[in-house]
Amino acid sequence: MQYNFDEMVQRRNTYSLKWDGEELIKEIGYTERYDHETIPLFTADMDLPVPQPLIEALHKTVDHRIFGYSIFPNEYFEAIQHWFKKRHNWTINKDEIVYSPGTVHALNIAVKALTKRGEGIIIQRPVYPPFTAAIEGNGRIVRNNAMIRNSDGYYTIDFEDFEAKAQEENTKMFVLCNPHNPTGRIFTNEELKRLSDICEKNNVIVIADEIHGDLIRKNQTFTPLAKIVSDTDHIITCTAINKTFNVAGLHCTNVIISNPEMRNSFREKMGMQLPSPFTISALIAVYNDGEEWLDQLTQYIDDTMDYVKSFLAEKLPTVKVTIPEGTYVMWMDFNGYGLSAQEIHHRIYNKANVLLEDGDLFGKEGEGYQRICIPSPRPLIQEALERIAKEFQDIETNNRLER
Ligand SMILES: Cc1ncc(COP(=O)(O)O)c(C=O)c1O
């Protein structure tokens, strides 16, 4: 079937964090202004309808009329195996799959189960902020292997620094984000192999957060880390349907742990986690029948990214952006204006009334950047960009006159 992603589905008054979360959003300090005119493009959550087979599967579950304690049927594991084999040629054994109600939850469990207070965990900033929270919130120490950005806005890994950090005596874990949020990098097989080898050599466990792995540009490929290394004993992979199929509210992450000792420790720390019947039917539906939708979605996101890039080139040429290899976020560099991070924030959040994510939330490397989530109907993205452009026109006009 043909999906119409330009359609704006009304999300206010649906318990949406993005659209109804005014109080919480203000409380956590994302913005001072939030009202019925705000365009929220901050959290990684799509404003696009989900695949039709998913809707039908959920209707069927509702129609049953009883929603008791549930257990995973074989079809659940088979659907996961089928998806990763077909999309990524990755073979997953059923007994390696551990359910978690969320990826951030799984990360916290892994940190608690497999490291001790005071031990070091490597992350690569600028990076998804809950990584820092999972480390510091559990009394562990962040070892930041900052990404290197070249003049074209392309990010690479500082391997020398990574190795030095992995060799530090109390470094026990590395949280890999691939595709990388917010820079959009998909690491190459060579990069992944090198990271994994360094970790293996230094007894550092890798938590590979690969939940953006199905959201990649049409001309890109994504390879799961565990697929390309011969020994996966030091690797834990987080996969999820939440980002790919826009079902964050259905709480479904699957953690792949091949090392039985690590798997037992992880399971023990997590305790019993029974799934919702909606989660089970959702996963089976999207992994078995969601491909057609995903292909259309990928095209829509690619086109929106092209649109954003050409809009900025025309109306806000001072803002630098590159099309990311993966993820549906774009990382926009506003530093060319020479304004403080506060002034950039003020113009976008208070004056334009668009809610993005301030780059410094991802680490000091993100200062002067803004992250925008773009899987919304294109007319909404257009309006947000027009509003932002208006607030920077004074400087753009001056810049043009000076050129
Ligand atoms: C890299 C990454 N990991 C984890 C999450 C959150 O996943 P979950 O909702 O399953 O905790 C996000 C959400 O944006 C993310 O970008």
Determine which residue's CA is closest to atom 13 belonging to ligand 1. Answer: 44
Residue type, 188: T
Q: What pLDDT is attached to residue 398?
A: 83
What are the phi and psi torsion angles at 142 (to 5°)?
-75, 130
* Span from the CA of 391 to the centroid of ligand 1 (angstroms): 31
CATH number for region 53-289: 3.40.640.10
pLDDT tens digits, 1-24: 999 999 999 999 999 999 999 999
Q: Which residues contact 356 (CB under 8 A, 6 or more apart)?
A: 41, 42, 348, 349, 370, 371, 372
pLDDT tens per residue across span 33-75: 999 999 999 999 999 999 999 999 999 999 999 999 999 999 9
Termini Cα distance of the chain = 50
Here the tokens at position 396 are 């753009």
- Count CB neighbours of 384 within 10 A: 23
Distance 371 CA to ligand 1 centre (A): 15
DSSP-derived 3-state class of residue 146: coil
The model's pLDDT over 182-229, given as tens digits with 9 standing for 90+, comes to 999 999 999 999 999 999 999 999 999 999 999 999 999 999 999 999
Q: Probe ligand 1: pick from 41, 111, 186, 211, max atoms within 8 Å of CB?
A: 211
Q: Is the CB of 240 under 6 A from ligand 1?
A: yes
Give pLDDT, residue 97. 98
Indicate the average pLDDT of the chain: 97
**pLDDT confidence band for 294 (50 / 70 / 90):** very high
Give all strands of the β-sheet with 97-100 in edge-to-edge order: 97-100, 253-257, 235-240, 205-209, 171-177, 120-123, 141-144
268 exposure class (CB count in 10 Å sphere: 0-12, 13-18, 19+)? exposed
Element (H, E) at 189: helix 189-201
| Any ligand 1 atom below 6 A from CB of 104 | yes
Q: Ligand 1 centre and the CA of 246: distance in Å?
A: 12
Asked whether the beta carbons of 236 and 175 are under 8 A apart, the reply is: no
The band of 30, judged by pLDDT with boundaries at 50, 70 and 90, is confident
Is residue 403 predicted with pLDDT exceeding 80? Answer: no
Choose which residue among 243, 251, 329 to substitute to test ligand 1 binding: the one with the highest number of ligand atoms within 8 A of its C-beta. 243
pLDDT, tens digit (0-9, with 9 covering 90-100), for 228-280: 999 999 999 999 999 999 999 999 999 999 999 999 999 999 999 999 999 99
Distance 339 CA to ligand 1 centre (A): 30
Q: Please, which contacts does 362-365 make with residues 24 or more away whose CB atoms are closer than 8 Å? A: 362/125, 362/126, 362/127, 362/128, 362/129, 362/182, 363/125, 363/126, 363/127, 363/132, 363/144, 363/146, 364/125, 365/125, 365/126, 365/146, 365/147, 365/149
Mean pLDDT, residues 308-331 = 98
* Residue of 265, 157, 251, 260 whose CA lies nearest to 211: 251
Question: Is 106 in contact with 255 (CB distance < 8 Å)?
Answer: yes
Report the nearest-CA residue for atom 15 of ligand 1.
128
Ligand 1 near 247 CB (within 6 A): no
What tokens appear for 85 in the block? 């084999």
Decide whether any atom of ligand 1 lies within 6 Å of the 45 Cβ.
no
Residue 361: CB atoms within 10 A of its CB come to: 17
Ligand 1: atom nearest CA of 329 is: 16
C-beta of 248 in contact with ligand 1 (< 6 A): yes
Nearest to 294 by CA among 251, 250, 328, 325: 328
DSSP 275: P
Asked if residue 177 has its Cβ within 6 Å of ligand 1, the reply is yes
Architecture of domain 17-50+291-402 in this structure: Alpha-Beta Complex (3.90)
Residue 31 above 80 pLDDT?
Answer: yes
Mutate to test the pocket of ligand 1, among 41, 181, 236 (most ligand atoms within 8 A of CB): 181
The position carrying tokens 């809707």 is: 55
- Residue of the CA atom closest to atom 7 of ligand 1: 103
| 254 C-beta closer than 6 A to ligand 1 | no
* Domain 17-50+291-402 identical in fold to domain 53-289: no
Quick check: CB of 373 below 6 Å from ligand 1? no
Pocket test for ligand 1, best of 46, 98, 103, 210 (most atoms within 8 A of CB): 103
Q: 10 Å Cβ neighbour count for 390?
A: 13
- pLDDT digits over 65-95, tens only? 999 999 999 999 999 999 999 999 999 999 9
Identify which of 128, 135, 238, 373 to mutate to test ligand 1's pocket (most ligand atoms within 8 A of the CB).
128
Cα distances from 177 to residues 130, 142, 151, 206, 365, in angstroms, run 12, 15, 22, 10, 16
Give 64 Cα–ligand 1 centroid separation in angstroms. Answer: 31
Which residue ranges make up each domain of the chain? 17-50+291-402, 53-289
Residue 174's pLDDT is 98
Could you identify the residue written with the tokens 């649906």?
A: 14
Q: Model confidence at 283, in pLDDT bands (50, 70, 90)? A: very high
Could you tell me if the CB of 103 is within 6 A of ligand 1?
A: yes
Q: Is 355 helix (H, G, I), strand (E, B) or coil?
A: strand
Q: Comparing 368 with 397, which gets the higher pLDDT?
A: 368
Is the distance from CB of 287 to CB of 79 less than 8 angstroms? yes
